[in-house]
Structures are given as C-alpha cells and as structure tokens.
Amino acid sequence: LIEIEHAILRGSSSTPDVPLISLLLPKFTPSDLRSEFKLLEKEPMVNVCLSCGSSSSPPLSIYRPDTLTADLNATAGSFLPNQCEVDSLYKSISIPEILIWYKQDFGSNEQLLGALAEMVDTNC
C-alpha cells in the first residue's frame, strides 16, 4: 500500500515536510514497469482525500472510476470544514497536519489556502 500511495498517487508530488521520512518512501525508477501508472502531475486532492492512517487525514472512503470526481469532492466537502479552523482574533488558520506536510503540492501558503477555500466552497 505504501508503494501505491507514494510511488503512484504521489509519484510527482513533493515529499512530506517531515524530517527523515522522505528517505523511507518508495519511488519507482523509470525502468520499473509500475512507473507508467504514476500520476504525472501533482494532485492536491490526494492530500485532502487519501486516508493514510494519520490523525489528520480523512476517514477511509471508496472511490469509483465512474464517479471519481464527485467522490473526491464529497470527501473534501465533508472532511475540510470539520478540520479547518479560522481564529479571527489571532488572525490564524488551523489546517490538518497532513496538508502542512505536503503544502509544496499546492504551491505557496496563499495558494494552499486558496485551494482549500475553493474545495470547501465548491463542496459544501
């Protein structure tokens, strides 16, 4: 399962911003036949919809090919509003830790917050 998550679904993504963890994650070499299945571009929805067993990831969900986009949107729409918190007094936003680990997949901090706002707005 770790190969599916990190070498296929996160194949083009950044490594998590967690000390030493990137040394343990599998990557396929170009000559490995499995590498033809990896995502070619970063897909931020992986960070919002894939349950990796951490306390900051969404619950397990089933994704079907014919309803994939709707399934991903439903997971994002139910997960993010319960995990993100805005504190207007301190002008801060709390987000799930897994999104901080993979924030490079979104770009800058502003792009991360914009993507999350769009996912919540679109799916709620």
Per-residue pLDDT tens for 5-34? 878 888 767 777 777 777 778 778 888 888
Q: Is the pLDDT of residue 124 over 60?
A: no
Contacts of 66 (CB under 8 A, 6+ apart): none
Grouping H, G, I as helix, E, B as strand and the rest as coil, residue 87 is strand
CB neighbourhood size of 36 (10 A): 10
pLDDT tens-digit readout, 35-52: 888 888 888 888 889 887
CA distance 38 to 89: 43
Ranking 22-26, 49-53, 86-90, 98-102 by mean pLDDT, the lowest is 22-26
Which own/partner contact pairs does 45-49 have at CB distance under 8 Å and 24+ positions apart?
45/72, 45/76, 45/119, 46/9, 46/10, 46/13, 46/105, 47/98, 47/99, 47/102, 47/105, 47/106, 48/72, 48/75, 48/76, 48/79, 48/80, 48/99, 48/116, 48/119, 49/75, 49/76, 49/79
